Structure 1
Amino acid sequence: MNDSHTADFQWVTHSDDLSQLALQWRSLDALFIDTEFHREKTFYPELALIQIFDGQHCYLIEPVAADHCPPFIELLTLESLRKVFHSASEDCEVLYRRFGCRLVNLWDTQIAAAYLGDGLNLGYAAMIQKYCDHTLEKGATRSDWLQRPLSAQQLQYAIDDVLYLGKAYQQQMKLTQSLPNSESWVTQDCEQLAARVDELDDIESAYLDIKNGWKLSNRQLQRLKNLVEWRERLARERDVPKSFVLKNDVLFTLAHKGLLNDQRLPDITNWHPASKRRYSEAIIHILKQPYDEALQVKAPLSPKFWQEYTHKLQQAKDVVASVAQTLGFEPDVICSKKLLRRYASFLLGFSNQPPRGWTSLREQYLGEQLHSIFQE
C-alpha cells in the first residue's frame, strides 16, 4: 500500500468515470469504504461523500456520480469483493436509502476488533493508533460535508478514513489467523449487521422501543402502538426526525393518560408548544379510536419478569463465559446480555423466532446448553 495518500487522491464526479473504476475494482479482494452524510434535521440521511481506497489510490466520490452508475451499485452486492468499513451500521443505512441495496461480503473492523480483544466499541482513531501507530486528526468529524469545495482539513480527514482503514484491515487479517474461527464469527456478525436494513421500515414493531412500555395496560398499549405508527409515517412523509414530531416521553404519557373526559389532551410540561399546536388534532383523533378488547398487543417483558429468571440467567451467563474462554473471546462478544435475554425470551415462547444477531455459530456453540436451561 502506498503511504503518499494526498498524491493519490482523485475526485470522481461523473458516472462514466466511476463505471470504469467499478469495473476495475471487481477483480480486487477488498475495497476500503467510508461515507459522510448529514441527518441532523431530517429523517433520511443525506449522503454527502463516498470515500474509497483500493489498496493503491484514494477516491472521493460525489454521490450524484453513483446515482446512475449500475456497475458501482452492483459492486456493493458483489459476493467476491469484500467491502471493509469501520462501525458500518450507519453506512449500511445511508447506502441502502440512496441505492436500495444491502451490502454483501461486509467486513466491519470494529466488530473484528472486538473478537481480537479490543473491546466492543473501539473507535476508529483508537484502532488506527493501535494497529498503525498513527494519530489521526479528527477536527472535521462534525463539519459540513455537503459544502463545496471541501476544506483542506476535510479532504485530509476523508482520505485518512479509508487509507488507514486498509492498513488496519491487513493487521486484523494477520491476527485472525492466530484465533481459530474468529474470521467466521466476524463474517457472520457482519452479515447480520448488513441485514438490519431490512428492519428499517418495520413500523408495526416500533412501539416496542419506547421505554417503560411494559408498565402499560393493553388499552394503553393500543394507544401507544397507534401513536408510534402515526409518528413513524409522518416523520418519513415530512423527512424530519421523529423527535421533531413527538418525543418518546410525550408519546408514553399520551398513551398512559389518554384523553381527559374523552375530549381534552392532558397537560404535559415537556411537550414542545409548536408540536402541540401542529399535531393536537391528529393526536386527539388517534386517542379517540375505540378500544378493541379482542386485540392483545404484544407487551415488552418487564424487569420483574426477568427477576423470576435470575438463577437461570446466571446459569446462561456462566455457559457463555465458559464457551467464550474456550474460544479465546470475551463473553460479551459472543453473546451480550441484551442478546442473551432476547434469545431466552424466544426459548420461553415470547417470540416466534430467534432474535436478530443469533447466528448459526451461536446456535452451534450455545444453543443446546441454553435450551436445556430455559426449557427444562
Structure 2
Amino acid sequence: MTLITTTDALTAFIRSLQGADYVTVDTEFMREKTYWPQLCLVQVAGPEAAAAIDPLAPGMDLTPLFELMDDPSVLKVFHAARQDVEIFFHLTGKIPTPLFDTQVAAMVCGFGDSVGYETLITKLTPARIDKSSRFTDWSQRPLTDRQLQYALSDVTHLRPAFEKLRKRLAKTGREHWLTDEMAVLTDPATYTLTPEDSWKRLKVRTEKPRFLAILKEVAAWREREAQRKDLPRQRVLRDEALVEIAAHAPATPDQLARTRGLGENLARGRYGTELLATVQTALAIPDSQLPRPEPRVEPAPGIAPIVELLRVLLKMVCDESEVASRLVANAADLEAIAGDDEADVPALRGWRRELFGEAALRLKQGQLALAIAGKKVKLVELGN
C-alpha cells in the first residue's frame, strides 16, 4: 500500500500517471465540527498504480494533484461525485474535468436509483468490500494499514467497474445520456453556497412575506457566520431558533433572550446585537420587495389517475430499457405532463422524450393503452 506524505513523492506519482486516459478518485473527509469539509485523504488510481495522498502531512503541497484534476486529457472517475467535487471546488475554485460519475452511469445501465459503491462493485466485479472502516476518524494520525486498505479499495475496485460501465454505454449507444447529469456536476453553481438562499432549506409552516423576510435575513447572517468561523451552521444557531426569531421579530435583548436555545449571554453579546440589527433590516424592507413563496399549483381535478397511468408507463419503459426511472422523470415531471402536453420538463426533451415522453403523450391522447399480458404490462396501439 502506498501512502504519499511528501510533495516530492506526490509529484513523482502524478508524473507516473502521464499518458493515462483516466484515473479513479475518492476522498475521505470530516465535517462534523466544521462548515467546510476537512480533507483528510485523497485516493487516486491510474490503470495500474494507486496511492493514498495525505493532505495533512507537514509541508504537503497538493498543487500536482490539483493540476491532474485540471488536466483536460485525463478523465476523472468518481462514484457519487458531488461531495468529492465540492471539496476540490472549495480548495481550488475549479471543478475536476472531464468528469465521469459511475453512480450516474450505473443508473443509465439499469442498476437502479442511486446505487451504492459496494453494491455496484459486487455486481460488476468479484471483489467484496470491507466497510468496517467507513466511520473511522480520518483526521487522526497515523493511519492504520486497515484504514489505508479500505481507502485504496475505493479506487482500485472502481477501475474494472468503470471499464465495464464504459463498455456497456458504448454498446448501447447511451454515452450521451450522461450529458445532462454531468452538466449539473460540473456547474460551479451546484457548489456555490449563497447565504441569501440558505433560508430555502428551512421547513416552515407559514408563508407570510414579512416572516419570510426576517427568516431570509437571519438565515443569511447565520450562513455567513458559519462560513467565517468554519463551524457547522447548527453550532452557530439552530434552525428552530431562526424560525422563532422570524415569528416573533424581537426588538430588544430581553425579547431575543426568550428564544429557545439562545440564552441571556448570547442575546446580550455580539450575536445578539447583530441578530437584532438583522431583524430591523428585514422589518424595513418595503412590502413590494418582500420574498414570496413559489405559487402552489394545484393539480387539475381528475388528473391524479392520469399521473398514476404515466407512473406505470414510466416503470414499464425503464424496466424494459434497463435504466433507472429517476433518471428519466420524477413525480413533478409526471404531474406536469399530465396537465400539459408541452410541459417544460426534461422528460419531454432529448433521449428522455424518445424513451418515455412520446409514449406518455400518446397515452394521454388515447393513441396507446396499457394492458396486461401474462405477468407483464404492455403497450397497445389503439385505432382511430
> Which TM bucket (shorter chain)?
0.7 to 0.9
Partner of 2:241: 250
Question: Relative to 1, partners in 2 of residues 1:232 and 1:31: Cα closer, same or farther, differing over 3 Å?
Answer: same
Quick check: 2:40–2:56 contact (8 Å CA) kept in 1?
no
- In the alignment, the residues of structure 1 paired with residue 266 and residue 352 of structure 2 have an alpha-carbon distance, to the nearest angstrom, of 45
Are 2:97 and 1:89 aligned?
A: no
One of 113, 126, 146 as aligned partner of 2:106: 113
Contact 1:188 1:359 in 2 (8 A): no
- Of 327, 331, 340 in structure 2, the residue corresponding to residue 333 of structure 1 is 327
- Structure-2 separation of matches of 1:171 and 1:329: 16
Paired with 2:48 and 2:100, the residues of 1 have a C-alpha distance of 19
TM-score (norm 2): 0.77
The residue type equivalent to 1:243 in the other structure is Q
Output one character per residue of 1:333-354: Cα deviation in whole Å (capped at 9) or x when no partner: 223336778999xx999xxx98
State the SS of the aligned residue for 2:29: strand
Q: In the alignment, what sits opposite 1:42?
A: 34
CA distance in structure 2 between the aligned counterparts of 1:362 and 1:315, rounded to whole angstroms: 17
Provide the residue aligned with 1:124 in structure 2: 117
The structure 2 residue matched to 1:293, chosen from 276, 287, 295, is 287
Aligned CA distance change for structure 1 residues 64 and 271 (closer, same or farther; 3 Å): closer
Residues 134/34 of structure 1: CA separation in 2 closer, same or farther (3 Å cut): same
Helix, strand or coil at the partner of 2:183: helix
Identify which of 21, 38, 41 aligns with 1:29: 21
Q: Which residue of 2 aligns with 1:223?
A: 214
Among 4, 8, 12, the residue aligned to 2:4: 12
**Letter paired with 1:332:** R
Given the alignment of the two structures, is residue 145 of structure 1 paired with residue 138 of structure 2, yes or no?
yes
**Aligned partner of 1:40: which letter?**
E
Does 2:168 align with 1:169? no
- Count residues in correspondence: 356
Over the matched positions of the two proteins, sequence identity in percent amounts to: 26
* CA positional deviation for 1:135: 2.2
3-state SS, counterpart of residue 51 of structure 1:
strand
Contact preservation (8 Å) 2:24, 2:76: yes
Taking structure 1 as reference, are residues 135 and 210 closer, same or farther at Cα in structure 2, changes over 3 Å only? Answer: same
Task: Quote the residue 2:228 is aligned against.
Answer: 237
The answer to whether the 8 Å contact 1:262/1:288 transfers is: no
Give the match's secondary structure for 1:36.
strand
Q: How far did residue 104 of structure 1 move?
A: 0.9
Q: What is the deviation of 1:197?
A: 5.5
The change in CA–CA distance for 1:241 and 1:109 in structure 2 (over 3 A counts) is same
Question: Is the 8 Å Cα contact of residues 208 and 299 (structure 1) preserved in structure 2?
Answer: no
Tell me by how many angstroms 1:240 deviates. 0.3
Which residue number in structure 1 is paired with residue 73 of structure 2? 80
Which structure 1 residue ranges, 5 or more long, are not aligned? 1-8
> Which of 1 and 2 has greater Rg?
2
1:273 offset after TM fit, Å? 7.8
For residues 208-257 of structure 1, what are the alpha-carbon distances to aligned partners after superposition, in whole Å with 9 as ceiling and x for unaligned?
221136x3211111111101110110000011001111222332232133
Match for residue 93 of structure 2 among 91, 94, 100: 100
- 3-state SS in 2 of match to 1:240: coil
**Residue 4 of structure 2 contacts residue 51 of structure 2 at CA under 8 Å; is this kept in 1?**
yes
Q: Distance in 1 between matches of 2:105 and 2:357?
A: 23
Partners of 1:90 and 1:336 lie apart in 2 by 23
Aligned to 2:196: 204
